Amino acid sequence: MKVKKEKFTSMKSPLKHLSLLSLVVLLKLLLSSCSAPSSSEPAAENRILAVERTARAFFKTYAEREDWDTFLSFYAEDLDFEDAILQIHLDSLEAFKAFYDWPNPEFQKHPDYPEIFRLDDLVVDDSTAVGRGVFFPFYWQDTLFAMDWDPTFTMWLWFDDSLKIRRQIDWIEYSGDVLISVGSRLESGEY
């Protein structure tokens, strides 16, 4: 069998139609995709690490529930706070202080639990941290607030450029007793 050789002069190569500029751009893109990370990537990684350190320090301070001033230092003055279950929205650090009211001696930790909760999971990016965990029993007005299950929480924290919490949304699994107690405080205008 004889193979016929043909010239392919009638087919035009797609590369012939590419301009020199197109080739340069294509070559630059290929080379840049193989190059070392940009200088902004370490800054982004550092920011993520800073958010994680701040979030861990925040949750540790919160869980210990001993240092009110340090706890407040994590927040921006223009804090936007929401408790999704209680349907409370607060638009300043001052309103938040009245709501959380840590210095109130009517709250007491349970003697078997040196911390008020356990942080099980923490997910962070360059401006947000989401913590999930379990609250432990405590006393309010000499009444034990304990449940037959482990009440879970999820807290979303958004950080500003100064690593202050500018927005927080709490999803806390409250017992009926806690809901009644907070509801009565809300009705009385306590905050």
Give the per-residue SS3 of the chain: CCCCCCCCCCCCCHHHHCCHHHHHHHHHHHHHHCCCCCCHHHHHHHHHHHHHHHHHHHHHHHHHCCCHHHHHCCEEEEEEEEECCCCEEECCHHHHHHHHCCCCCCEEECCCCCCCEEEEEEEECCCEEEEEEEECCEEECCEEECCCCCCEEEEEEEECCCCCEEEEEEEECCCHHHHHHHHHHHHCCCC
Backbone angles phi, psi at 60, to 5 degrees: -65, -45
Global confidence as pTM:
0.74
Residue 186 has, within 13 A of its CA and on its CB side, a CA count of 11
Gap between the Cα atoms of 67 and 44, Å rounded: 31
> How would you write the pLDDT of the chain (191 residues) with one tens digit per residue?
444 444 444 444 444 444 544 444 444 544 444 545 555 567 878 999 999 999 999 999 999 999 999 999 999 999 999 999 989 999 999 999 998 888 999 899 999 999 999 999 999 999 999 999 999 998 888 888 887 778 899 999 999 999 999 999 999 998 777 777 777 777 776 65
**Widest Cα–Cα separation across the chain:** 103
The pairing of beta strand 75-83 with beta strand 165-172? parallel
Residue 168, strand partner residues: 81, 157
108: its two tokens: 């007491």
7: its two tokens: 């010239």
Sorted by where each begins, the domain ranges of the chain are 54-187
- Is 96:45 a contact under the CB 8 Å cutoff? no
Class of domain 54-187: alpha beta
